[in-house]
Amino acid sequence: MSVSLQKNIGAYISTVYAGDVDSIVAGGAGNGVEAYGPAVDRFAFGEPLSVAVAYAIKATVANGKTLSLGYSLQHSTDGVNFTDYAPVAAAVVANGNGAAQDLVIKQSVDLTGAERYIRVAYTPTLNATATDTAVIAPLFVFGGEDTLPAV
């Protein structure tokens, strides 16, 4: 492995905004509702061949309750009409203990067959009635560009 990869990984990746911070309340706003990030033009970042999609989550979930997350990287030829490229079925990502939990869910995706535009789509579901909350912020980390990003 290259020493520069070990000591300067930032020279080999691009971090890109993938969506607004989304606040979810059990039984209320955003719960069980699919959220979408904006269209991102991969070609503006050197046409990367891979992406890590990170979902940073802060959740407070009551004892015996859960936060589930289903998500997908979607792609499009025109930046308007999107289809699933790499879907992941909903699964429990946080089990309740009544305390705030910080976690990151990462999806690694090979973009070799992806179209020019990509975006995130995700559905968070809290199974409590009103007290549980979660905040989710998606982020793209691109790698494998033909031309490395400027540091």
Separation CA 17–CA 15 (nearest Å) = 7
Is 55 strand, coil or helix? Answer: strand
Domains identified in the chain and CATH numbers: 12-143 (2.60.120.660)
Residue of 108, 103, 90, 91 lying closest to 50 (CA atoms): 108
Q: What are 63-76's pLDDT values in tens digits? A: 999 999 999 999 99
Report DSSP state, residue 38. P
Separation CA 106–CA 77 (nearest Å): 25
pLDDT grade for 4, boundaries at 50, 70 and 90: low
Least confident of 35-44, 88-97, 123-132: 123-132
Question: What's the pLDDT band for 29 if we cut at 50, 70, 90?
Answer: confident
Give me the count of residues in the chain: 151
Q: What mean pLDDT is predicted for residues 126-137? A: 90
Please give the biggest Cα pair distance in the chain: 51
Q: 85-98, pLDDT tens digit by residue?
A: 999 999 999 998 88
Q: Which two tokens stand for residue 37?
A: 């990030």
Average pLDDT (115-129) is: 95
